[in-house]
Chains A and B, each alone.
Chain A
């Protein structure tokens, strides 16, 4: 298997749709770079611009402004059908009037591949996707998972430079979704093809990706490896969208964070953010702590870095125990995940809790 080794560069990409109510910006000023055989995921809630970005790279949507370069070559000079990319759609979009074989062979036939090569490549691809023996079936006679495999095969058979996947697993049931995502990654690595993957499911994104780009409201918020995005979010939005997060209003004083009751937290990472957030109305800064990076115990143990609250609900979730704690020093319920039950704590009890380490303090950037 070869490695494409090509690099995709997107610069200042902007898309504006003309609607009856006037222009609507679907994506503004998005720049990113994807190299080699990276599995790159664009993640975000619906309407965030991720699919628009993917479709502009595919050539299915016109570019309002900005650049898309593959190995320095301007993609905007090429029609969608000249870009040599593969794409997998959420609805599979298999050709219902063609057999599995003809569906997969479609791109090769368009490239005028000799019949012997078509047979070899299609056979090999169907084998890799464990679809052997289904060649003469029609899409209507396949299960959802099989249809999705065929559509992946159709996109990969002609060795595209980039594989685009637009929420390919959204129509599958939960178990199949987990199986398929591992399979997609296995194939992508085996073929060494660059993959651009769109999803709104953050867990899926974390599981499958080498790098993740988080989008919100038509902007690229942050991109990086799953670990970095989770551990070092640069905005409230990303902190909340990836994983769970607790927020405590704080005052920044001389490099430390002071909670409402004056508790001092030292040595925290300080991040300035441009987030427009309701919570910044009442406070200049927020301390963010991940639930699994917190401790909790029955009240009265006496720790000067502790908050006090009431355990409203205790959920046993198998691999960990989740405490939902009411606390007037936090915005909203505080979530604390512990590996074991905290001794002597029942629902309704007063508890004390606090961050172990490495919280992040977000302060609103002065505009």
Chain B
């Protein structure tokens, strides 16, 4: 304030949003940036020590040159990541085109079903492939009996890639389907008017428009598959990837610094992959949103409709097979290595409800607390990020989005390394799990809220202020009601993905704080398949009920919730 008439002004600005934003940033610095930094440094320290310049060493990294196991794990991770991304994209794009452009019945159902692989608990879905294609698996035995065919071993590349493709292709499918559905039909019509054939339009207009969303989806698939832990843990067999190697270093040797080094390498290759894909995508910026809400004509030819239905439903059947097997296995009471179970019943559920109650309670409680924290802080932080300008905004934005590119297991390792001892020893507590969940998931609420707030005319808030409402009242009566669907959509994703969260939990859980995914893992280890399947089925059920209820409340479809 300056000038001849400057008068002292009474400022009664509400500090609530700044407080929340500041606190969020503090939590992110303390429980994300600082741990990642520590991890980075400690990966240069000898085993069991903390980093000081004097004892700096490359011993943990040198294993990537000296140890065959390390080199193989790195190579495996890259091969699996790339293969999964390419196959998942190749499989998903035709399905997306069919659903977007061919007249088919039950499209909303198709879109909803495609979400299920994303929200299913880990481990148990992967184990379904063992039940089907393992050495004594159902399908393997029939193939052997009827055709004398030997399946390739499900343990190893084949199983890992199959399971990962089917649990991740949905990202590409939803992105491309959404883009192709909303492309301005004028583009294709003008190509048609100029005399282009349908095949030519497809090649020169439609498919190029699908490339940016395809690459965006592929990027998520790549990030997910580079950091995936559950599937290689179950189906890896002799094959290690970086995430399982990390787990091995921690639970086998408790060598945190070696794990840190692996984490660093994992993050590095993820970053390289992301930068590469962003580069490719940057050259292709199209404005595809037209002025019309009209949709492009659907193909109605008999041949294309048969092909489309066959392709899409087969793909969905394959992707949902693990879930179906889980539910089936949960009703198998005696299955002693025979082709089919000898007895069916609900004993597994009785067992679960009498003996495995605690992990379920833990999962629900930890997920609920973390979700509430994400909603409160994510909403306020998202609000100030969208509405206010302040120095260091980019840093906040970048920090919040960081966990998107960090494999969950890396975040877990970083928190474990940093808060394992010292004045704030959190290892083994519920707090560290909640904190890990919070830093990993707040971005979902944050992004939802930023998008929702940008849709709310700032003049509406000003109108409320002028009418006599303070900041809090305006938030309560105008802004929050208008962005509530966005918040709820984000909250549902956070909650459902946290109930069965695994890659961070597997590093940070303790005997007192086991969650559903740990319970499933332990039952699988001890060959209690039925019990594991029952826990898995219950988790799928709870998650589905929540998602469906949320879609009813918000009035959005399941697939919109996840894209």
Which one, B1, B7, B468, B473, contacts A67 given CB within 8 A? B7
Residues of B within 8 A of A265 (CB): none
A28 CB, min distance to chain B CBs, angstroms: 10
Judge whether A87 is part of the interface by a CB distance below 8 angstroms: yes
A106 touches B459 (CB 8 A): no
B467 CB, min distance to chain A CBs, angstroms: 4
| Interface of A: prevailing SS | mixed
A: which residues have CB within 8 A of B?
A: 11-12, 14, 58-60, 64-67, 74, 76-87, 89, 91, 93-97, 106-107, 110-111, 151, 154-155, 158, 164
B: which residues have CB within 8 A of A?
A: 1-7, 9-10, 12, 457, 459-460, 462-470, 473, 477-478, 481-482
Q: With A12-B5, A64-B1 known to touch, is A87 a contact of B462 (CB < 8 Å)?
A: yes
B4 touches A107 (CB 8 A): no
User: What are 16 A-B residue pairs whose CB atoms fall within 8 Å in the complex?
Assistant: A12-B5, A58-B466, A59-B466, A65-B1, A65-B4, A66-B3, A74-B7, A77-B10, A81-B469, A86-B466, A89-B459, A93-B457, A94-B463, A151-B463, A154-B467, A158-B467
A11 touches B5 (CB 8 A): yes
| Interface of B: prevailing SS | loop
Residues of A within 8 A of B4 (CB): 12, 65
Residues of B within 8 A of A12 (CB): 3-5
A89 touches B463 (CB 8 A): yes
A83 to B467, CA, bound (A): 9
B463 touches A154 (CB 8 A): yes
Residues of A within 8 A of B462 (CB): 58, 60, 80, 87, 89, 93
A76 to B465, CA, bound (A): 15
A163 CB, min distance to chain B CBs, angstroms: 10
B484 CB, min distance to chain A CBs, angstroms: 9
A76 touches B459 (CB 8 A): no
A106 touches B467 (CB 8 A): yes
Given contacts A81-B468, A82-B468, A155-B467, 4 further A-B contacts (CB under 8 A): A12-B5, A64-B1, A65-B2, A67-B5
B7 touches A95 (CB 8 A): no
B388 CB, min distance to chain A CBs, angstroms: 13
Residues of A within 8 A of B7 (CB): 67, 74, 76-77
Which of A78, A93, A94 gathers the greatest number of chain B CB atoms within 10 Å?
Answer: A93
A93 touches B459 (CB 8 A): yes
Q: With A95-B460, A97-B482 known to touch, is A81 a contact of B3 (CB < 8 Å)?
A: no
A77 touches B463 (CB 8 A): no
Residues of B within 8 A of A66 (CB): 3, 5
Which one, A60, A97, A151, contacts B465 given CB within 8 A? A60
A11 to B2, CA, bound (A): 14
B1 touches A110 (CB 8 A): no
A151 to B462, CA, bound (A): 13
A85 to B3, CA, bound (A): 26
B468 touches A91 (CB 8 A): no
Residues of B within 8 A of A79 (CB): 12, 470
Residues of B within 8 A of A93 (CB): 457, 459-460, 462-463
A363 to B3, CA, bound (A): 33
Q: With A65-B3, A66-B3, A95-B478 known to touch, is A106 a contact of B466 (CB < 8 Å)?
A: no
A79 to B465, CA, bound (A): 9
A135 to B506, CA, bound (A): 57
Q: With A87-B462, A89-B459 known to touch, is A110 a contact of B467 (CB < 8 Å)?
A: yes
B1 touches A81 (CB 8 A): no
B468 touches A14 (CB 8 A): no
A111 to B5, CA, bound (A): 32
A158 touches B3 (CB 8 A): no
Which of A79, A111, A154, A164 gathers the greatest number of chain B CB atoms within 10 Å?
Answer: A79
Residues of A within 8 A of B457 (CB): 91, 93
A80 to B463, CA, bound (A): 10
A111 CB, min distance to chain B CBs, angstroms: 6
A60 to B460, CA, bound (A): 12
